[in-house]
Amino acid sequence: MRFAQVALPIPRRTLFTYEIPDAMTVEAGSLVLVPVGKREQAGIVWEIRETPAWNQGPIARIIAPFADMPMLGGDLLHLLDWIARYYLCPIGSVTAAALPGELSFQRKRRALWLGSPEELAALPESLHPLALRLAQTKAKGLGEETLGREFGLKEVNTRLRNLEKRGLIRIDTSWNARLPTTGQPITSSTPFVPQSRPELTDEQHHAVDRLTQALEQHAFAPFLLEGITGSGKTEVYLRAIEACLQRGRQALVLVPEIALTSQMIERLSARFPDSLAVLHSGLSRSQRPREWWRARLGEARVVIGARSALFAPFMDLGLVIVDEEHDPSYKQDGTVPYQARDMAAVRAQKNQAILLLGSATPSMESLANAQRGRYTHLRLTRRVGGGVLPSIEAVHLGDPAIRAVLGRDGLLSPPLCAAMTQTLQAGRQVLLFLNRRGFAPSLLCHRCGQAIQCPHCSVTLTLHKNRSRLLCHYCDFTREPMDVCPSCGQLSLFHFGPGTQRLEEECRTHFPQARIARLDRDTVSSGRHTLEETLTAFTRHNLDILVGTQMIAKGHHFPGLSLVGVVQAETSLCQPDFRASERTFQLLTQVTGRAGREDQQGRAIIQTFDPHHYAVAAALGVVGDFTLREMAFRHQAGYPPSQRLALLRFSAAVQPEGEIYCQTVQSRLAENPDAIFLGPAPAPLFKLRNRYRWQLLIKERPGGRLHRALPGVLALAQSLASSRIRLELDVDPYTFL
């Protein structure tokens, strides 16, 4: 007898033992259907054993395997196990995050007539039609395997069950995998013929040579590719992929969000026709499993996708590319808060593959790894084609002369308006960046100072003018706008703060003849193809002005773009987060770098209330190395990459109950040689979806090891929590709201 330890996609930390039927072929990594109580559940075989894990009484059998080959290879099982241990997550939750939900089993039932014609005649009239069809099928003398008629689940009803109880029919149940078929796996000896390619610069050539040499070694080697905007990082990616495919291996390309996939997919498809699979949440229920399965069979030689594509299956993975590696979108929130960039390194190491992290503004963590010699640091310091970086200037919004012209509600300063007019008259394009959607972030009373807040969250409601609604961006609560302040009863409400809708409206007022579009989460959610259509239209110069949030700030190539305007640089700077300065510098550098590609120098104007802040000044190019100053701040304050962090979040539906729990946890925390405890304290976003929130910041001590402290802290918090307290541990947190 053989037994399988199965991980089920449920929030449990244990594996479940099932017996493997003698005739069934099952391996570690196989997707199988198993009974769980009175229902069936798909799970992943973690390991095969000759004996049960423990003596637990009767052991249920595996019902059916999904396919003749394992769905997950050994490298993926290693990655999932690593994630579960590093982030202290239930293995079942990690399994659920890794498997496409569309990979499932379909139940089929078949009813066979067992009775005689006399028994058929004696049946109640209500059962005659169904039984007669079954009996007539048997009378044709067909073989046992074709007897009867297949019925869908809706037809296996009370009538059939009554016949089964009488012993007149037998209902057989079978399970079939909903598996897209794409042909046989492609062998590693399949020839690869590269398409036409542009000439490389000396710096690109050096980077490609280093990567090609590393691929020859067939060993893990991590690289950090730091290249200014427009320096040709994508072409280096493509050449590295070519070298990988020529050696019979597969490549994975991660991008931080769907907004960046369209142009990358276009370039990959042109270079590698018929070899590309795409994986992201925007795919349909039929597309995603098909692409997943093509990668597993080896038919897709290159896989591109957002964060979850990290879990794509491969026959032989040789190269992992993480584009815009600094982007916070790579951090998954929720039950399994993994960092896809870091887990890409784990997967590449297990596969003896090359890891290539690329960015114009690398994260502090990756720069620290390069400085410590863990990553090979490659640099691209010049733009392709002899182009130069855009000229960048600041407009001080605190200047009385500027404020006098703008007034209370104006967003476009005279210098920015003049530059936009000049650019449009020259037949070029303008991009305006404001990292805040909606018409106005808040509706404020100028008499009593109260803002209209969400009743379920500790945030103000945002006015969305095109929908004529006030909306909470956290819980989606909406209400109609009002004129009278609910606090003081006065007609004194006004729109406070800028948003992309308001910026778009002001652009239409100033430039009525211009073709203008907006890209933010509101416009993207309004239609499935809005994002790609708008980006394509702007790339083809069918639009003059594009207004948007951070989804337009990085990774895009707009040939006709000459002017970038940052409407308010402080939107990302005023956050309760030690990474606020880093993110501000990255966003400003990335978005201004969209201007002036190809043969024309661009121009960027940054409107700011604090041009002397070192993050803003560094983006303007008027101070020294931003990295040195930021690293010094992190080291002094004990923040990553100097020391590691974890965040334990608590929430309760009743505020006093949560406060008592926090006090209890605080009183039970003992002095720890590996960690420093700060809190628990109320979260900056204290109320969210009718729950009150607190958090405990856990900082690694110099010379200590954070993971020696975390299991004990988590166990203590869980032992003190009632069923009404929710806990969430976030290792290496990226948000502190």
360 and 406 housed in the same domain: no
Where residue 154 falls among pLDDT bands split at 50, 70, 90? very low
Residue 353 lies in a domain: yes
Amino acid in the structure at residue 470: L
Residue 489 lies in a domain: yes
| Distance separating alpha carbons of residues 644 and 648, to the nearest angstrom | 14
| Whether residue 294 has pLDDT greater than 90 | no
Where residue 187 falls among pLDDT bands split at 50, 70, 90? very low
569 and 658 housed in the same domain: no
Q: What is the dihedral of CA 353, 354, 359, 361, to 10 degrees?
A: 100
618 and 529 housed in the same domain: yes
| pLDDT for the residue numbered 141 | 38
Residue 189 lies in a domain: no
| Distance separating alpha carbons of residues 505 and 480, to the nearest angstrom | 20
| pLDDT for the residue numbered 146 | 34
| pLDDT for the residue numbered 409 | 74
| Whether residue 649 has pLDDT greater than 80 | yes
| Distance separating alpha carbons of residues 177 and 30, to the nearest angstrom | 12
| Whether residue 374 has pLDDT greater than 80 | yes
254 and 348 housed in the same domain: yes
H/E element holding 142?
Answer: none
Over residues 75-103, mean pLDDT: 89
Where residue 355 falls among pLDDT bands split at 50, 70, 90? very high
User: For residues 12 and 498, which has the higher predicted lDDT (pLDDT)?
Assistant: 12
| pLDDT for the residue numbered 132 | 55
421 and 568 housed in the same domain: yes
| 314 DSSP 8-state letter | -
Residue 185 lies in a domain: no
34 and 83 housed in the same domain: yes
Residue 356 lies in a domain: yes
Q: Which residues contact 249 (CB under 8 A, 6 or more apart)?
A: 188, 215, 316, 317, 318, 319, 353
253 and 379 housed in the same domain: yes
| Whether residue 139 has pLDDT greater than 90 | no
Over residues 43-49, mean pLDDT: 91
| pLDDT for the residue numbered 384 | 87
> Residues 620, 612: contact at Cβ < 8 Å?
no
240 and 328 housed in the same domain: yes
| Whether residue 626 has pLDDT greater than 80 | yes
Number of structural domains found in the chain: 6
87 and 161 housed in the same domain: no
| Whether residue 310 has pLDDT greater than 70 | yes
Range scoring the smallest mean pLDDT among 103-107, 486-490, 575-579: 103-107
Amino acid in the structure at residue 251: A
Tell me: the pLDDT tens digits for 681-711? 999 889 888 999 999 999 999 888 999 999 9
396 and 370 housed in the same domain: no
Question: How far apart, in Å, are the Cα atoms of 29 and each of 42, 72, 314, 645, 699?
Answer: 12, 5, 12, 32, 36
| 168 DSSP 8-state letter | S
Largest CA distance in the chain: 102
Residue 566 sits in a domain whose CATH number is 3.40.50.300
Cα dihedral across residues 303, 233, 267, 390: positive or negative: positive
| pLDDT for the residue numbered 454 | 84
Q: Final residue of a domain: which of 599, 633, 667?
A: 633
| pLDDT for the residue numbered 212 | 97
Residue 191 lies in a domain: no
Three-state secondary-structure class, residue 601 = coil
Residue 148 sits in a domain whose CATH number is 3.30.1390
| pLDDT for the residue numbered 145 | 36
Question: In 593-654, which residue ranges form alpha helices assigned H by DSSP?
Answer: 614-620, 626-637
Q: Model pTM?
A: 0.86
413 and 281 housed in the same domain: no
Instruction: Compute φ and ψ for 32, nearest 5 degrees.
Output: -130, 160
| pLDDT for the residue numbered 192 | 44
| pLDDT for the residue numbered 179 | 61
Q: What is the 3 state secondary structure string of 467-501?
A: HCEEECCCCCCEECCCCCCCCCCCCCEEEECCCHH
| Distance separating alpha carbons of residues 314 and 646, to the nearest angstrom | 32
Residue 23 sits in a domain whose CATH number is 3.40.1440.60
Let me know how long the chain is.
Answer: 737
| Whether residue 190 has pLDDT greater than 70 | no
Residue 281 lies in a domain: yes
Domain limits for position 659:
645-731
| Distance separating alpha carbons of residues 373 and 221, to the nearest angstrom | 12
| Whether residue 182 has pLDDT greater than 90 | no
Residue 194 lies in a domain: no
| pLDDT for the residue numbered 181 | 57
Tell me: the pLDDT tens digits for 582-625? 999 999 999 998 888 766 789 999 999 889 999 999 999 876 68
Tell me: the pLDDT tens digits for 226-281? 999 889 999 999 999 999 999 999 999 999 887 667 778 888 888 887 788 888 77
Over residues 85-108, mean pLDDT: 83
Which segment, 142-151, 256-265, 574-583, is predicted with the most confidence on average? 574-583
H/E element holding 673?
Answer: none
| Distance separating alpha carbons of residues 647 and 677, to the nearest angstrom | 10
Where residue 725 falls among pLDDT bands split at 50, 70, 90? very high
Sheet containing 105-113: which strands, arranged edge to edge? 149-151, 105-113, 169-177
| Whether residue 440 has pLDDT greater than 70 | no
Instruction: Compute φ and ψ for 69, nearest 5 degrees.
Output: -125, 155
342 and 448 housed in the same domain: no
The residues pairing with 564 across neighbouring beta strands, listed in sequence order, are 431, 604
Q: Final residue of a domain: which of 81, 99, 117?
A: 99
Tell me: the pLDDT tens digits for 408-422? 778 899 999 999 999
Three-state secondary-structure class, residue 607 = strand
Q: Final residue of a domain: which of 581, 612, 633?
A: 633
Question: How far apart, in Å, are the Cα atoms of 391 and each of 168, 456, 552, 593?
Answer: 86, 45, 19, 10
User: For residues 52 and 691, which has the higher predicted lDDT (pLDDT)?
Assistant: 691
